[in-house]
Amino acid sequence: MTIAGSLRVVEAGARVYRRTWRGSVISTFLNPTLYLLAMGIGLGELVDNGTGGTSLDIPYLTFLAPGLMAAAAMQTGAGDAAYPVMAGIKWRKTYEATLATPIGVPELLLGHLGWVAVRLIFVTTVFALIMTVFDATTLTEGMSAIAPAVLTGLAFAATVTAYTARLKNELGIASMFRFAIIPMFLFSGTFFPIEQLPNYIEPLAFITPLWHGVELCRGLALGQDFTVHPLVSVAYLVLLVVAGAWLAIRTLRGRLIS
């Protein structure tokens, strides 16, 4: 396995993105702006004036923004590891073309994750800047949440790549988003503290990767105390990246190399 081979895969992703960036850059800026306007300011005014509160004695917009940043990283990582990976394996067969060169499966996988990391850095940096514009956090604290957000996105990218590599068609991808990604988005602490969940559901939220990402981003962006030690959350997410990458390599090797 060579670093040069992985960098070639990253370069290929960048070359493709150079021709397609207009379709995603607008949504990269627009999505966080609309979410923070609608949920942070619109719904947030009702929450702040209500009796429920967020249990943190801070405006709802401030509470929400770092969670949405982690959720955006999750959606970006999972999205880049779903249909694009299926296309590389089945539809466009670019993975087979890549493996016909000196690049092997490990370089292919690490290059894929490397390009996802580049995308995540861009998406989360934009989100941090928009958080600052909305006065949800300071620029320094917002930027400090970029690293855990990127790690969260990579945890999903690695595990979803391993999952997608096993699929024969795209139906499993739709099911994954419907029954895994969307429920995590809603119930992993992004919009409200998970302590408000029923007692029998709360432990499930604690073990979701997104909750650990939200916990890290919120703790760093707001200077709040962590529910669990941050190294525990970092180790959990790193473990998912490593395990997902290992499974993806094994699956891709078995599927693409006869």
Instruction: Tokens for 34, please give them.
Output: 């609309």
Task: Tell me the residue length of the chain.
Answer: 258
Q: What is d(CA 213, CA 41) in angstroms, rounded to the nearest whole number?
A: 23
Structural tokens at position 181: 């990604």
Sorted by where each begins, the domain ranges of the chain are 3-256
Q: What is the pLDDT along the chain (258 residues), one digit of tens a residue?
A: 679 999 999 999 999 988 888 878 777 788 888 889 988 888 887 787 775 544 557 899 999 999 999 999 999 999 999 999 999 999 999 999 999 999 999 999 999 999 999 999 999 999 999 999 999 999 999 999 999 999 999 999 999 999 999 999 999 999 999 999 999 999 999 999 998 899 888 999 999 999 999 999 999 999 888 999 999 999 999 999 999 999 999 999 999 986
Residue 208: strand, helix, or coil = coil
Q: Which of 73, 77, 78, 81 is nearest to 127 (CA)?
A: 73
DSSP 257: -
What sign does the dihedral 210-213-214-215 (CA atoms) show? positive
Give the pTM: 0.94
Instruction: Determine the Cα angle at 224 with ends 65 and 202, to 5°.
Output: 75
Report which of 58, 91, 55, 62 is spatially closest to residue 170, judged by C-alpha positions: 91
